[in-house]
Homo-oligomer: A and B are copies of this chain.
Amino acid sequence: MDEVQALNAFASLSQETRLRIVRRLVIAGPDGLSAGAIGKAMDDASSSRMSFHLSHLEHAGLVKSRREGRSIIYSAAFPALSGLVEFLMRDCCQGHPDVCNPAVAALSSCCKPAQGAVRVLRQSNLRASAT
């Protein structure tokens, strides 16, 4: 992720419809959703409007598409999202280890857990019950 890619990604995410699309696709996971299904979810937006925003997102690298029959299926580009987060927070808060830990915590609760995971955490961020 370089600066130009990050700028395009943020520009793409700064529009209401596109942000909603990305969040919908983040939730949908790798299976994705068809352009039509996304359009229905977005206040029944016109096809040209959906196409404009979806291709905007695709050019920005935030989503990818594949054809399935008559439909085009869009899905979130998870590596790009990770890269964007990493780009924004890179080299953060030198010498102040606590400052950006909340961002880590925010993301850590994102994925459904694999069981028995080994995690390295600062003690101050642990509020784990002893069960």
Identify the A interface with B (CB < 8 A): 3, 6-7, 10-11, 13-16, 19-20, 22-23, 26-30, 76, 78-79, 81-83, 85-131
Contacts and interface: CB of A to CB of B under 8 A. Distances in A.
A108 B111 CA distance: 14
B93 A29 contact: yes
* Interface hub of A83, A106, A118 (most chain B Cβ within 10 A): A106
A37 B87 CA distance: 22
B113 A124 contact: yes
A131 B86 contact: no
A79 B37 CA distance: 34
Contacts of A29: 92-96, 99
Contacts of A124: 113, 131
Nearest to A116: B122
Contacts of A86: 103, 106-107, 110
A93 B79 CA distance: 13
Given A19-B3, A122-B116, A131-B124, A78 B97 contact: no
Given A29-B93, A128-B126, A128-B127, A106 B119 contact: no
